[in-house]
Structure 1
Amino acid sequence: MLGNASHALLDFEQAITLEPKQTQAYKNRGNIHLQLGNQQSALEDYDRVIELDCKDAEAYRYRGNVRLLLKDFQGALEDFERTLELEPDNPEAHNNRGVVYLNQGKYQQALIEIERAISLNSNFSQAYHNRSKIKALQKIPREALVDLEQAIKLEPTNIEAYKDIIQLRLSLGDSEEAIKHVYQLIQANANFGSENPEEKEKIKQVFQLNPKTSQEHLTRGCLFLAFRDFAKAIEYCNKALKLNSNQIAAYHIRALANASLKDYQAVVADYSELLKINPNDFSAYKLRGEAYYFLKDYQGAIQDWNQALVLNPNETEIYANRGFSYLKVKDFLKGIEDLTRAIKLCPNHPQIYQIYLYLGSTRLALGQAKEAIEDLERAIEVNPNSIEAYNSRCAAYCVMGDFFKAISDLDKVIKLNPKLIESYCNRGYLYAQIGNLPKALENYELAINVNPNHLDAYLKKALVHIDLKDYHKVIEDYNQAIQLKPNDAEIYYGRGWAYLQLEKYQKALEDYSKAVELNPKYADAYSARGYVYEISKDKLKAVKDYEISAHLYNKAGNEPQYNQILNKLKQLNISELKDN
């Protein structure tokens, strides 16, 4: 930023060289000098403007501002008075003249000027801030708070207003509200981190303190929390608590810092200490519940949120969070009840998308596909680009047997992310289910184009080729699969089956033998190899494989297959099955 200002300064100097009587160039250069901290140079430029045009109200106001910074109150007052002679309804001049009176201790005169500024411009943030200072000095803190709230509303990045309102809240014991302002400060000034050192240093100067009291240490802790310097925030909260162990706000601020560091055990400890001091602190139960949730202590979270809801029964965020926790502990009915209650209390809940998404997924798991679809449609209305919602609704349509709508949802998923391999595979499977085998193959090929090493695509493509009775293609698919997973018995079994259909018995035997080598308990592979031996007229080997498969089927409790093998053995004149 300073580099840009320096470049601008050169530009304005060039403009003045070319046109020495251009007043706007002097004013602009003066503003840049002021930005760079060169107050004397700024004064000289404003003096030059007034010398060229003694009726330039803006130049008087600018010069008055510099004199105010230099604590030349009389000079500043003269400049603002001259501004108002030229522009009687200039709100900035009235405000700044009020600031001069404020610095001179003339509070009533200051109040008149600043209220005049507000009457001229009801959106004048700095005027509200200045009036709050007068109200605070007049010992009317609640009126000061109203003005500070308005100043922040009009200018959400007004750091000085945040400093004043945080300190004032803490002095009044409003720790809850002070913490809310910390949140606002963090949100409104997201660039407080080390990536913007100039801004950080500016804010440090605004909050510059030499903390001695517990409250001053705590205010400093608030600042560092906003800076996201959590270690420093904790350090100042520790100092505040050392001076006053009952400083509730210090536990809150320290807990927030610990939460940002993901030290949720420390968060639990802080709120537990706070609750010893104030057993009815709603925020403590709410936020300790969140810490328990992150620690995956869902029952602990539920207990804290139960207590929080006793204190505030209409807190929609807690119903939603407790609902999510109930789902985590598999109490689906209570989870659905809480999430539904959250929607009823707040149809525009900040987590409304997640609520509908979780409701839909839960109802799908409970077999309530129709209701799941309704919830997932609401989730998609809120977030039309939710891949997760489309995938879940696709699954619900599959349960309902509506494969065409399921395919439509996968179309949307693929449009949102063309690199999702599983979506192509799933869409291919659905096309196969409705008998559109060419489209099924097309989708498996698309999956392979995205990732040539995707095993599932080759396996599913092989199944489609089986339906098409294209056994040569089946073998090609299984060849690719074996390259990717050479020790999978089922793939060898599948390729062996394809060779069998082509009457390539030796190849089939080799694959079935490899399958039983990889999995000696593979009953289907023994049965299939036995069949190949049987049609190859090798009765002894056929009988041996059938006996092994029968034993394995019997052991697995697969009675139909066991009986089928017994019949084969009888056909081969084996009167008894040996007990293996």
Structure 2
Amino acid sequence: MQGYSGRKREGRRSATPFAALLCLALAACQTSGPGAEIAAIDTAQGSAENIASLTAVIERSPRDAQAYNVRGSAFGRAGRYREALEDFDTAIRLNPSYFQAYANRALIHRFKGDDGRAVADYNKALQLNPSYDAAYIGRGNLYRLAGRTREAFDDFQRAIQLDTTDPRAYHNRGLLYQAQGQHNLALEDFSTAISLAPNAAEPYNGRGVSYLALGDEDNAFSDFNTAIKLDGEIAEGWANQALVYERRGDKQKAMRSYRQALKLDPEYGPAKTGLARVQG
């Protein structure tokens, strides 16, 4: 059965669940919190006004490592990666034991395409704090996207053993179970991710794919529709919905959904091949 969840590439809104990873996973505070790549982006945190306010804090306390870490997170949310790196570098220089700043810097390195430095920073964060769940999740996602599934699974498993409340750990482990055909285990993990982030579309898409693989078309269709209601800008959701329409023989609705997926991402392979099938 062809499923569309959990691809390695990270393009526009049809990528792996959590394509907005950077904007959502930066840990500005001292705790990892529930911050997830599957939550709504708080654009205000990267606003010019917020950055100006944080700059004023730094001007008053220029040796406050946490202030640089927080502003670095804001720069990251705004897509200002060079300035984010500079702030995280400063935070680490002021406090070499600042494990959150290492993990935040790792995420910036990842989005600049430097996976080697990203892994090194996650390793350093975990050396400083072996119980830091966010670093296991961040490193695990890097491993997952690189095809290093065993190491990815171990990192997500470790975060879960630490009683993380971060839904990314369960969602990503669910993707690994799904890729191995262990759909019942995947369903459990996607359901846990949904309970932790009920307004996130991605775990519904993931769970729907596993329902479909198990022959539960009705629950799959319900999950895909919920995913679209929560975020209609993800091509994956529309392609998944189209697949159910296609299986039901409703080619007109399938074509509309595949076309909507391609409108969001003209290069989304599953939508291209699906549309070709129903038009053929």
Identify the TM-score tier after normalising by the shorter chain: 0.5 to 0.7
1:314-354 Cα offsets, whole Å, 9 max, x none, are xxxxxxxxxxxxxxxxxxxxxxxxxxxxxxxxxxxxxxxxx
Superposed CA offset, 1:158-189 (max 9, x none): 222222223343454422011332464477x4
Contact 2:238 2:258 in 1 (8 A): no
CA distance in 2, matches of 1:218, 1:156: 24
Taking structure 1 as reference, are residues 156 and 62 closer, same or farther at Cα in structure 2, changes over 3 Å only? same
Give the aligned partner of residue 353 of structure 1: none
Alignment of 1:244-393 (within 5 A): none
Whether the 8 Å contact between 2:51 and 2:71 is mirrored in structure 1 is yes
What SS is found at the alignment partner of 1:37?
A: coil
Residue deviations 1:419-460, cap 9 Å, x none?
Answer: xxxxxxxxxxxxxxxxxxxxxxxxxxxxxxxxxxxxxxxxxx
Alignment of 1:128 with 2:156, yes or no, is no
Counterpart of 1:158? Answer: 200
Q: Cα offset for 1:11?
A: 0.4
> 1:63 corresponds to which residue?
105
Distance 1:173-1:13 versus aligned 2 partners, 3 A rule: same
State how far apart, in whole Å, the 2-side matches of 1:210 and 1:182 are.
8
**In structure 2, do the counterparts of structure 1 residues 220 and 78 end up closer, same or farther at CA, with 3 Å as the change threshold?**
farther
Matched, 1:48 2:94: no
1:217 aligns with 2:216: no
Determine if the alignment matches structure 1 residue 19 to structure 2 residue 91.
no
Please report the TM-score for the alignment, with normalisation by the length of structure 2. Answer: 0.66
Larger relative helix fraction: 1
Counterpart in 1 of 2:71? 29
The residue that corresponds to 1:377 in the other structure is none
Instruction: Return the index of the structure with the highest Cα Rg.
Output: 1
Closer, same or farther: CA 14–124 of 1 in aligned 2, 3 Å: closer
TM value normalised by structure 1: 0.34
**Aligned partners of 2:79, 2:148: CA distance in 1, in Å?**
28
Q: Report the equivalent of 1:236.
A: 257
Contact kept? 2:174, 2:187, Cα under 8 Å: yes
* Matches of 1:220 and 1:16, distance apart in 2: 55
Distance in 2, matches of 1:232 and 1:37, equals 37
Percent of pairs with identical residues: 27
Cα distance in 2 for partners of 1:168, 1:154 equals 19
Is 1:207–2:207 an aligned residue pair?
Answer: no
Structure 1 unaligned blocks of 5 or more? 193-202, 222-230, 246-580
The equivalent residue for 2:30 is none
- Deviation of the 1:78 alpha carbon: 0.9
| Structure 1 stretches of 4+ moved >6 Å | 231-234, 237-242
- The amino acid of 2:54's aligned partner reads F
Give the 3 Å change call, closer, same or farther, for CA 176–141 of structure 1 in structure 2: same
Unaligned runs of 5+ in 2: 1-41, 247-251, 261-273
Provide the alpha-carbon RMSD of the alignment: 3.4
In structure 2, the CA distance between the partners of 1:237 and 1:207, relative to structure 1 (3 Å rule), is closer
**8 A contact 2:144–2:152 mirrored in 1:** yes
Distance 1:116 1:14, change over 3 A: same
Q: Deviation of residue 216 (structure 1)?
A: 7.0
Residues 242 and 43 of structure 1: CA distance in aligned 2, closer, same or farther (over 3 Å)? closer
| Number of positions where the alignment pairs a residue of Structure 1 with one of Structure 2 | 219
